[in-house]
Structure 1
Amino acid sequence: MMRESGGRPQEWNAERTDRARVPDPRGRADRFAAVEEFSRRALAAADFPVYGVASALEHRGDALGAFETSGDSLSWVEVQSGDRSSVAGPYVTVRTYRPGAELDERLPELEDVVEDERDRVYEQLGVDEGDGPGRVRALREWITVDGVPHPVEVHEDRPVPWPGAAFGGPGPVWAGRLRVGGLTVTVCGRGVAPGCVELAGIADFEPYLRGRTELLGELASRRARQVPVEERELPPAVGLEAHRELIAQSVAESAAIEAQVRAGRTPRRPRGLRGDAYAVRWEKAVRQQMRLATETRDEATAAVTAMVNHLDRLSRQTNWLVGTGEGAAAVEEVVRYTVFASEVASLPAQRAWAQVWRERPGGGGPGARDGERLAEQLWLAAWEQWRAARSG
């Protein structure tokens, strides 16, 4: 996938390229061939060495993983080797940055490189190794590059044990960064020790391009077998439970991300709150909104979106929404207002939120920051008046 925003660098990622369900195998093959040729041209223009694993790995599985361009120049290239279908590995990724990249941009923290690898295992293999850093140790290792040992500082993360770990589960996941001839190289591995990894410059990208096409085919076949949640038969929702469950998960996710930001970590959605479970909760809430509020799908989706954002922002702006009786009452009133337009006690706050939602950038209102701030102040004041009335 290529993505661009305001002239920012564009990233191509093999594992995220085939998002659409493509029922026509011929069309899919043509698409993959076009992507492969584009990648071939981009890599042919590399004006710096790109490194990959030279030492033998079981289930070698070489593939181009991702690359990023800025203008007409490559910023970095990442390749992968090993068994990507096993939690135990061995599996190694190697990302080579162009000279001077560390001076122009902040490179990902090694902890984030490890978390990206654990995200891959969750998304592709369905194994959640747990959130958070686990047991972290700063190690100094040596990785051989073109036959010459190079020192590397390693961040090692031992994942939280998961059911089945006693039967050949994953070993530590680690990431390290080293300097090779003026280049910065980041290595991440599972199931293989850093000292056992040998790197070498890649002279022929064709095996990696073929591996990438094979990977795309695997991912496309897997997604083609998945029925979109909008087309599935789901257990019928009872009353307002679908709305309540969706809010509970959304607020928990918001709280987890806020905690990550406060801890100085890169915010990312907790693995246990991603994927199919969230999509199913969302779809059940939309369907129930359509049924109970007699709304079209577009109207119901807009209503549920506004509801979730209302309580997400309220949870961030206050310290009483989660774990208190008045917080539970507020959730109930927001849900009832969303579904039935009920004359709830917090009606002024509900109407004030509608103004906040309109004033947000892209929300159809003026989008001015002053207007948004004023609307938010009035909304929070309305909730405080509701709380005072309850306690009085």
Structure 2
Amino acid sequence: MREEPGAADAEWVKRMRALARQDAEEMVPRPDFPVFGVSSPRLEPAALAAYEQVNGAWTAVTLAYGAWDAAPGPYVAVKSALADPELATALAGAPGHGPEAGLLRAIDAESDRLAASTGVDEDEPAGPPRYSREELPAGAALVARHGTVWAARLDHPGDRTAEVTVTITGRGAGPEQVRLFPVSDLRPLFEARNEILGRLAERQRREPPPRLEPAEGVAAFRALAEFDLDGHARIRASARPGGRLLRQPANWGRLRSALWQRAVSEQQRLAGTSKGAADDVVTSVMNHLGHLAEQATWFSADARLRAAAIDETLRHAVLGEAVPSLPAQQAWERYWSDHMGRALRMDRGSSAFAEMESRRALTDGWLAAWTAWTRRA
């Protein structure tokens, strides 16, 4: 049954706006490096789109101009990032770390943002990205164009060139139209960000839930598992040198949530347990398969073994069957139980070295049990 938003949704938006004010306070004093915004063309609303911190210090701020939920644009974002000359020198010439790769990842991020905020999936442009060096109103830059999106990295962003790297991304307004200015007060932009996110979230909460193909029992778990594993594969691909930035399909989060909740409901029905206990089972199963995808090379390399491992893991967890991989299933249960209790033990003064050794031993035992299973499967 679809739930209509009401007082609970209004209260949630109210909390979002209160959080905006709290976050804005944390932005004062402003980041200790130049932050640039768009002076022209005049695009509204203007908001802080993203920010990054390392050990409590601001390292990057992205300001966005134009409607976040308008697919054609115009929309322009400016990322001001604290420069790291040592890192840049270390990565110079390394595959996937040049300026061209950085611009392509910025273009991918823009397509991902559009999908998340509008539900529109853009087709991959037919041709490769085009790169050129250009003199723009914002300054000399390397420019990449790919389909309807472009990105530009400025050579000399303002007077303090050694401190900041500036990347501009846009659609619906060309790089030759964009002029920048130094932004001195981020507070209103931070508040605008949370207002926009609140409206987007409120709109999404009013939309009907995604429609799923019918599935019950183990099949409901398998649908969630394949969805999650596909996401894992794309994340790993994007992390490789030269890899494209992960681009999630539109409504990816809502679809995953629907698949997850259905698996929880099926576990409740089959086991006659509480929703919390059922959610714990789903969490353990999805982490088990995700760890296999990350740490067991055979899982990705051998389709037959992968399918068998998924099937046995689901039948054991959901139906309680004594599958051939039972030693590996039990080894995972020991690992996961230890993992869930680790934070409490650390709070009680457990040695970090002892915890690390315990985790290594449990991981090795779990992987060894699966390796032994592959010889018999």
TM-score band by shorter chain is 0.7 to 0.9
**In the alignment, residue 113 of structure 2 is paired with which amino acid?**
R
| Structure with more contact order per residue of length (Cα contacts < 8 Å, sep ≥ 6) | 2
**In the alignment, residue 149 of structure 2 is paired with which amino acid?**
P
Contact 1:321 1:327 (C-alpha < 8 Å) held by counterparts: yes
**In the alignment, residue 222 of structure 1 is paired with which amino acid?**
R
- Secondary structure of the 1:86 match is coil
2:304 to 318, 325, 339: 325
Going from structure 1 to structure 2, the CA distance change for 1:285 and 1:38 (only over 3 Å counts) comes to closer
Partner Cα separation in structure 2 for residue 320 and residue 69 of structure 1: 35
Partner Cα separation in structure 1 for residue 336 and residue 312 of structure 2: 18
Residue aligning to 2:78: 94
Residue aligning to 1:167: none
Residue aligning to 1:291: 269
C-alpha displacement of 1:112: 3.2
C-alpha displacement of 1:374: 2.6
Partner Cα separation in structure 2 for residue 218 and residue 346 of structure 1: 48
C-alpha displacement of 1:257: 1.9
Superposed CA deviations along residues 334-361 of structure 1, whole A, max 9, x for unmatched, are 1111012211122111111212223447
Partner Cα separation in structure 2 for residue 72 and residue 377 of structure 1: 35
C-alpha displacement of 1:42: 3.9
**In the alignment, residue 332 of structure 2 is paired with which amino acid?**
W
Residue aligning to 2:154: 177
Partner Cα separation in structure 2 for residue 87 and residue 273 of structure 1: 15
* Structure 1 position 344 matched with structure 2 position 323: yes
Structure 1 portions without partners, runs of 5+? 1-20, 159-170
Residue correspondence of structure 1 range 71-220 to structure 2 within 5 A: 75-97=59-81, 101-103=83-85, 109-129=102-122, 135-145=128-138, 150-158=139-147, 171-179=148-156, 180-183=158-161, 184=164, 185-202=166-183, 208=189, 211-212=192-193, 214-220=195-201
C-alpha displacement of 1:130: 5.3
Higher mean C-alpha displacement, 120-129 vs 89-98: 89-98
Partner Cα separation in structure 1 for residue 106 and residue 73 of structure 2: 16
Going from structure 1 to structure 2, the CA distance change for 1:381 and 1:267 (only over 3 Å counts) comes to farther
1:310 to 288, 291, 306: 288
Contact 1:249 1:273 (C-alpha < 8 Å) held by counterparts: no
Superposed CA deviations along residues 14-73 of structure 1, whole A, max 9, x for unmatched, are xxxxxxx9747588568637735863784675666543222234x543333345577997
* Structure 1 position 63 matched with structure 2 position 52: no
Partner Cα separation in structure 1 for residue 217 and residue 55 of structure 2: 53
Contact 1:23 1:224 (C-alpha < 8 Å) held by counterparts: no
1:253 to 220, 224, 231: 231
Going from structure 1 to structure 2, the CA distance change for 1:245 and 1:224 (only over 3 Å counts) comes to closer
Partner Cα separation in structure 2 for residue 383 and residue 126 of structure 1: 40
Going from structure 1 to structure 2, the CA distance change for 1:293 and 1:322 (only over 3 Å counts) comes to farther
1:39 to 24, 27, 47: 24
**In the alignment, residue 38 of structure 2 is paired with which amino acid?**
V
* Structure 1 position 263 matched with structure 2 position 241: yes
Residue-pair matches, total:
349
**In the alignment, residue 142 of structure 2 is paired with which amino acid?**
E
Going from structure 1 to structure 2, the CA distance change for 1:339 and 1:269 (only over 3 Å counts) comes to farther
Partner Cα separation in structure 1 for residue 71 and residue 230 of structure 2: 27
**In the alignment, residue 384 of structure 1 is paired with which amino acid?**
T
Partner Cα separation in structure 2 for residue 332 and residue 135 of structure 1: 40
Partner Cα separation in structure 2 for residue 388 and residue 78 of structure 1: 51
- Secondary structure of the 2:40 match is coil
Structure 2 portions without partners, runs of 5+? 1-5, 89-96
Percent identity between the two aligned chains: 30
C-alpha displacement of 1:287: 0.9
Partner Cα separation in structure 2 for residue 72 and residue 92 of structure 1: 27
Superposed CA deviations along residues 211-254 of structure 1, whole A, max 9, x for unmatched, are 54652452353255357x7xx99886423210111111122222
Partner Cα separation in structure 1 for residue 65 and residue 170 of structure 2: 10
**In the alignment, residue 113 of structure 1 is paired with which amino acid?**
A
Residue aligning to 1:54: 39
C-alpha displacement of 1:300: 1.3
Higher mean C-alpha displacement, 41-50 vs 289-298: 41-50
Residue aligning to 1:281: 259
Cα RMSD of the aligned pairs, angstroms, is 4.0
Contact 2:220 2:263 (C-alpha < 8 Å) held by counterparts: yes
**In the alignment, residue 151 of structure 1 is paired with which amino acid?**
A
Contact 1:346 1:383 (C-alpha < 8 Å) held by counterparts: yes
C-alpha displacement of 1:327: 2.8
Contact 2:292 2:299 (C-alpha < 8 Å) held by counterparts: no
- Superposition TM-score, scaled by structure 1 size: 0.73
Residue correspondence of structure 1 range 236-251 to structure 2 within 5 A: 237-251=215-229
C-alpha displacement of 1:379: 2.3
**In the alignment, residue 102 of structure 1 is paired with which amino acid?**
D
2:335 to 350, 353, 356: 356
C-alpha displacement of 1:310: 1.6
- Superposition TM-score, scaled by structure 2 size: 0.75
